[in-house]
Amino acid sequence: MGIRRMTIAVVSHDAGSSELICAFIREHEALVSWHIFALPESPMAIICKRHGLMFSPINNPSEQLEAIHPDILLFGTGWQEKCERPYVHYCKEHGIPTVAFLDHWSNYRERFDYPDETWIENLGDFTAVSDEKAYVLARSLNLPHPLKLSNYYLKALIEEAQKRTIVPSNTLLFLSEPTDAVAQQTYGDPLYWGFTQYTALRDILDHFGQFKCENLTIRLHPSETSSEYSLILKQYSHIPIQIHSAHTADLTDELLSAKMIIGFDTMALYIAALLNKPVISYLPSHNRDFHLPLPQTHQLKNLDDFVPELLFPSSLSIEKFGMDFASFINTLTKAFE
């Protein structure tokens, strides 16, 4: 028996979960009616435009949802913006199943404003995850009804990347993240973890010789600007360094062309490892754990522990994971019968 045609509303902002949701939509676009809500020029809006997915600008959530009578709401999670909240609260008040999409493997509860006493109100009725490590983590944190869904975004990215012909350079690629801003927003202290992206960059530059690279490229996070980095780079004029914006430099091309990639725990590091590139997850902190599913040998707290073996890639592949679309819909609808 086929799936009856239904309406699924979608609202998201941050890039990580937006990529997962848009890839999920594209995989199942013809099976239901989709209505996407996004802030213009947000990461979600940019991703929708890239894939030719239509979206409505976020306005009055109650009016927008009442106009389409959705059967289900899928929503993104992150730390940059909380525009999803009114849509989630409306659906929960009106008995419409809600599904929170989690990317990465960190700050799962904090995305919903934990430890604020009202954080539970921001959770979805279900929690979508894309690999076994995320599933185990979501269950350990007692997040509502974790659901296993395939990571169509990652699958498509790897398949597309494998078709490209790019000559590797002798570049060390640093994948920056706004560590100070996340720590400030989450814990009220930009140095909560004992380091920032700027202190880590200094460490990398001080140890640059051990990477056996000729130059360094800094790939900025979409929320970052280059001004603070430029001040640091003046002190390392002997090292050829470029700064690239995430908005203009293609991530896959940069990963493929680099000799080695270093970062904190950005998803792009995991992607690089899947692309058979040498990677280092670098967290110079005593109170921050490694989250990426990388071999422990490629996770460093101190660059003095660098060994030559790190110049070679680790062997990783995407695991087979996730339920089919019919099972996904049935699980949601049966729970609300």
Q: Given a cut of 60, is residue 130 above it in pLDDT? A: yes
Query: Could you read off the pLDDT of 222-253 as tens digits, one per residue?
Result: 888 888 898 899 999 999 999 999 888 999 99
Q: How confident is the model at residue 4 (pLDDT cuts 50, 70, 90)?
A: low
Give the integer Cα–Cα distance in Å for 141 and 108. 8
**The predicted structure's pLDDT at residue 1:** 41
DSSP H or E run through 330: helix 325-335
Q: How confident is the model at residue 320 (pLDDT cuts 50, 70, 90)?
A: confident
Write the CA distances from 336 to 109, 113, 142, 248, 273, integer angstroms.
24, 26, 20, 44, 40
Block residue for tokens 């799936």: 3
Note the pTM of the prediction, 2 decimals: 0.84
Inter-helix orientation angle 197-206/179-187, to 10°:
140
Mean pLDDT across 204-208: 97
Block residue for tokens 């929708």: 48
Mean pLDDT across 275-289: 95
